[in-house]
Structure 1
Amino acid sequence: MPHFPVNHPARPLYRVFAGLVGFYILVFGVWGVVQTWGEPLFDRGSHWALGLRTNPAFSLASVLFGIVLLIGASRRSNLGHYMNLTAGVVFMVTGVLMMSVLQTDANILNFSMSTVIVSMVFGLLLLATGLYDKVGPPEYAESERRERNHVITGPR
C-alpha cells in the first residue's frame, strides 16, 4: 500500500495550487468557447485561447474539468485528494496521447506542442497536490509523524 502523508502542513498551499490550475483551465475553456463559437466541434482551425490552441470540444471539456478541479480544491475531505490524483493522471496520459497524434487527423482536440507541455506541467502539479492532500484524524497524523521521525515513546 502506498504511503501518503496525512494532514501535511503544506496542504492548504497545495489546495491553492490545485485551485489555481482549475481556475486557469476554467478561464481557458470559457475563453475558448467564446473564440470557437459556431465552429464544428472537432475543428482543426487556428483558434488560440490564453496561449494554447483549442477547438469547441477541447474548450467545453476544459470548462467541465476546470469546474471539477475547483470543486476538488474547495473540499476539505479526501475527495479533493482523490480528485487531484485522478486529474493528474488524466492530464499526463492525455498529454502523452495527444503528443503522439499531433501531426495526424487523430488530433481531435487540436493540441499543439505548447498544449502538451502545459498538460504535462498541470498533471505533475496535480499529482504532487494529490500526494500531499490526504486528510486523516489528528491521532493518525501524529502517529505517522512520530514514526517518520523515529520518535521513541514509552519506557526504554
Structure 2
Amino acid sequence: MKLRDELPTDHRLATVYRYGAAFCGAALVAFGCLGFADRLSPFNTAGTTLAGLSTNGVLSVISVLCGAVLITGAVIGGNLASTLNMTVGTLFLLSGFVHLFILDRSANVLDFGMTNVVFSFVMGLLILTFGMYGRVSGSLPHDNPYWRQRHPEQAAREDARRRAQAPPEVTGPASAARSAFTEPRS
C-alpha cells in the first residue's frame, strides 16, 4: 500500500493539519529565536537553560529550521501538511529516544537534558497526532475521505443507496406553478 494512493486531494481535515503544523512550528521558532536572543555559543554543553529546557546555538538553529518546515507545510496545506506533520513528529520521537540514551555522554552535543527528552516526546506526539487526525483509525466514519478512498466499491454502493432513497428533486417553471397551487396560503 502506498501512502499517496489513499490521500484524497480536497477535504475539510486539511484545516486540522494546517493549524496543527502552524501552532507547533510557531512554538519551535519562538524557542529557537529565544536562543538566538541569548547569543548562545553553538556547541556549549554547560547547561544553559531557556524556558525550562537546556539549549545551545545548534539546538536553536535546529528548532528554527523544524519550525520553518512546519510553517511552510501549514502554508501549503492539504496532504503535504499531514504527511509533513507525521514525518516531523516521528523525527521528534526518534530524537527523544536517541537523546535518552546519550544524556550523560560526550555525544550529547545538543545539550539535551531530561526535560528536553520529555519535550521532544510530547512535541513529537502532538505533531504526529495532528498529522494522523482523521486519517488513521480502525473505525473511520463512512463520510471520511480516507475511508472512502480505501473502500471505493462500498462507498459507491452507499452513494447509490442514498440517491435511491432521496425524493426526486423537481425543478423548472412547471414545478414552480404546481407548488403555487399545492402550498397553503397564510
**The TM-score by the shorter chain falls in which range?**
0.7 to 0.9
Does 1:101 find its partner at 2:107?
no
Task: Give how far 1:83 is off.
Answer: 1.3
Structure 1 unaligned blocks of 5 or more:
135-139
Q: Deviations over 1:6-52 (max 9, x none)?
A: 46644423421221111010010010122243x2x211022222221
Number of the residue aligned with 2:145: 141
SS across alignment from 2:45: coil
Kept in 2, the 8 Å contact 1:16–1:73? The answer is yes
Higher RCO (C-alpha under 8 Å, 6+ residues apart)? 1
Structure 2 unaligned blocks of 5 or more:
136-143, 165-186
Task: Give how far 1:56 is off.
Answer: 0.7
Does 1:152 find its partner at 2:155?
no
Number of the residue aligned with 2:132: 131
Going from structure 1 to structure 2, the CA distance change for 1:79 and 1:154 (only over 3 Å counts) comes to closer
- For the pair shown, the structure with the greater C-alpha radius of gyration is 2
Does 1:111 find its partner at 2:117?
no
Alignment of 1:1-20 (within 5 A): 1=1, 6=8, 9-20=12-23
Going from structure 1 to structure 2, the CA distance change for 1:13 and 1:108 (only over 3 Å counts) comes to same
Task: Give how far 1:132 is off.
Answer: 3.2
SS across alignment from 1:44: coil
Q: Following superposition, which runs of at least 4 residues in structure 1 exceed 6 angstroms of deviation?
A: 2-5, 148-151
Task: Give how far 1:114 is off.
Answer: 0.9
Task: Give how far 1:152 is off.
Answer: 3.2
Q: Deviations over 1:45-76 (max 9, x none)?
A: 22222221100111111111111111112222
Aligned residues: percent identity? 31
Task: Give how far 1:133 is off.
Answer: 7.4
Kept in 1, the 8 Å contact 2:92–2:123? The answer is yes
Task: Give how far 1:153 is off.
Answer: 4.5
Measure the CA separation in 2 of the matches of 1:103 and 1:110: 9
SS across alignment from 2:38: helix
1:23 counterpart (23, 26, 29): 26
How many residues of Structure 1 are paired with residues of Structure 2 in the alignment? Answer: 149
